[in-house]
Chains A and B, each alone.
Chain A
């Protein structure tokens, strides 16, 4: 910035001196250099950021592009690649399991994330209130699940949601006379257990983000609302939520993308790498690629997933944008 400014001043004087022909002591003409200062600054700037972009090009861009390329080939990873046009897409679109995995992903995504964001918002509100003591202890406790390994979570939850009658959840349900549920293999049992894992692990992360957002809301707004006789509900609805809009957008986005990429939970929980009741779209493509060495159809699935994520993100943007607006309308 300062460099360009200096240069402007410089050229300014030059122009001026050029106009007055009598002036003999005109400033020296700038030496012709191979690179101007501006170019040098640009070059060093690019050099500074290049490590990331170089690594990203090798480990990010190339695999992404290669996967687009692979989607049109039949390839087992070791042998020759065979061009098959759109046949890979034809195969997956005609595979009922593909549609099942898409359905599962959406259902589990909704079950795992929608309640989670609402609970996170309420938890954050509670943690932010002046009534709670030992705030940092609670904050830490809420956030802790996030740092556990997904694999460990999945293993613990498979013990909790064990199919055996003696499993923790099943014996609890038994107290109410409910028959044991085959958690890993029943249509809804698997989905409930997997959603529970996602809920448990991510609720703290979103709580902390909301909490950070809430702390940025000036207290006078609440005080003013209280003086005007606003109830707690009205405070949340008309102050907290509209002010949190950017944070809500962020969490909805990350949660949606995360939900579309559910993988480890069904992979481990259901045993043998997943079953139709819980298989997610990422697990479907993982099985295809790394279980069966069908890299073509797996890449085709990845591309379909890519477009699904774009569609969902766009839909999210439209939906979430309305949150703040309705809040403002109520405020009037």
Chain B
């Protein structure tokens, strides 16, 4: 048996060591946990070098997701032999963590970095960490892009341009033709669009669907609330970044409308991205999915043999969910060359190729006029020209200021809607949401 004093020493050392190890583990877990959001996609960084080894200008470009940009850029380095480009592709969560760290530390950032649309407002207080693209001639290409998509990449006053828009996520209504038919409703996309012009129409159809088939209209409160909120002229913060949940009616209305549909049984509670939610796409757990264009890939993955999904415009107009921006961190030594490449990469011709290759929905409306779009048809959606439906939503959308703490507020509201689903009174829950939001963002 050890002496007491020596045992104490050993234990203290042990406690310290385990605490230290524990810390590492927590980081590890965090990284792992974040990967889950990418459906357990634990691929390492993929690095692609393009161009000559002895090129005068060596550019680096960090991006995430499946963009196919390295393949596209081969043409560029062939035409511009003085430039070489190194692409680093990793999953979205790691990408943003790495970029944030490099910008915060003031070293290690690439010449070009993609930023996801939901993250970009978090960087807008840090103009000194980025190159103002307007200084490089961004204003000349502004007209190529959708107005609202451009404004998301600008400072509030529009003087500072953080990034050029890459792809976007115009939102539409995916619906199950078989469930609509079973309920005695029209199932052809054009007829469905005529039928579901407003949210009132949507609710009436939901009543019919529920009565006739027993199927809820939507899979979870989140998608329904997002769709309604995105049609509001103001969301959570005003342009001075003050919380306006209390002073404007729009978000509260969206919350109450969603709650009402929950209480009537039109909304199920499949958590987004859970296996059950994906499974229900296949076996008809819900009649509609209010979601962005890129969700078609998720639907096809989850229900590969299902041939009843169709696409129609969202009642009262679509919004935007997802997409990215390419920025130039101010640590770069080659801002002009980086911008020249970005300008080329995001020009309509290249965006058209990115759409054909990887399904990235273009932020340049010129592509919507091209044959790629007008003659598009998707067999999965019964041969429908889905691209035109998405394009229509993209053209209708308008810019709304979001703010750095947008995600925090959104989480609290969605948690609140789940609580309503569990039986809490909507009015009571809304008051609670306001308290929680206040607590969370004022620090």
Q: CB of A330 within 8 A of chain B?
A: no
Q: Are A150 and B29 in contact (CB under 8 A)?
A: yes
Q: Shortest 5 CB-CB distances between A and B: which pairs?
A: A78-B126, A264-B29, A151-B32, A91-B443, A271-B271
Q: CB of A145 within 8 A of chain B?
A: no
Number of interface residues of A (CB under 8 A): 55
Q: Which of A91, A155, A271 has the most CB of B within 10 A?
A: A271
Complex partner residue of A253 from B11, B20, B104, B404, CB under 8 angstroms: B11
Q: CB of B125 within 8 A of chain A?
A: yes
Complex CA gap A324/B302 in Å reads 57
Taking CB atoms and an 8 Å cut-off, the chain B residues in 273-314 that contact chain A are 273-276
Bitwise, B5-33 to A at CB < 8 A (1) or not (0) is 00110010011001110110110011011
- Shortest A294–chain B CB gap in Å is 5
- Shortest B53–chain A CB gap in Å is 32
Q: CB of A258 within 8 A of chain B?
A: yes
Q: Are B18 and A151 in contact (CB under 8 A)?
A: no
Bitwise, A77-108 to B at CB < 8 A (1) or not (0) is 11100000000100100011100000000000
Tell which of B188-196, B320-328, B375-383, B407-415 binds the partner. Answer: B407-415
Q: Which of B15, B274, B407, B419 has the most CB of A within 10 A?
A: B15
Q: Are A263 and B30 in contact (CB under 8 A)?
A: yes
Closest to A164 in B: B276
Q: Are A151 and B36 in contact (CB under 8 A)?
A: yes
Complex CA gap A158/B419 in Å reads 19
Residues of B within 8 A of A291 (CB): 407-408
Residues of A within 8 A of B275 (CB): 159
- Shortest A206–chain B CB gap in Å is 14
Q: Are A293 and B122 in contact (CB under 8 A)?
A: yes
Q: Are B276 and A162 in contact (CB under 8 A)?
A: yes
Q: Are B26 and A282 in contact (CB under 8 A)?
A: yes
* Given A185-B418, A261-B22, A291-B408, residue A267 in contact with residue B126 (CB < 8 A): no
28 residue pairs of the A-B complex, CB under 8 angstroms, read A60-B20, A78-B129, A88-B443, A95-B439, A150-B29, A151-B33, A151-B35, A152-B40, A154-B36, A158-B274, A162-B274, A185-B418, A185-B422, A250-B14, A254-B18, A261-B26, A263-B33, A264-B32, A267-B33, A268-B33, A271-B273, A282-B26, A286-B26, A286-B30, A290-B30, A290-B97, A294-B443, A297-B443
Q: CB of B55 within 8 A of chain A?
A: no
Q: Are B271 and A253 in contact (CB under 8 A)?
A: no
Q: CB of B238 within 8 A of chain A?
A: no
Q: CB of A184 within 8 A of chain B?
A: yes
Q: CB of A191 within 8 A of chain B?
A: no
Complex CA gap A91/B129 in Å reads 29
Complex CA gap A282/B23 in Å reads 10
Complex partner residue of B19 from A74, A96, A309, CB under 8 angstroms: A309
Closest to B20 in A: A60
* Given A79-B126, A261-B22, A294-B443, residue A272 in contact with residue B411 (CB < 8 A): yes
Q: Are B20 and A257 in contact (CB under 8 A)?
A: no
Closest to A272 in B: B411
- Shortest B379–chain A CB gap in Å is 32
Complex CA gap A79/B272 in Å reads 33
Q: CB of B441 within 8 A of chain A?
A: yes
Q: Are A257 and B15 in contact (CB under 8 A)?
A: yes
Complex partner residue of B15 from A162, A253, A271, CB under 8 angstroms: A253
Q: CB of B100 within 8 A of chain A?
A: yes
Complex partner residue of A257 from B22, B271, B419, CB under 8 angstroms: B22
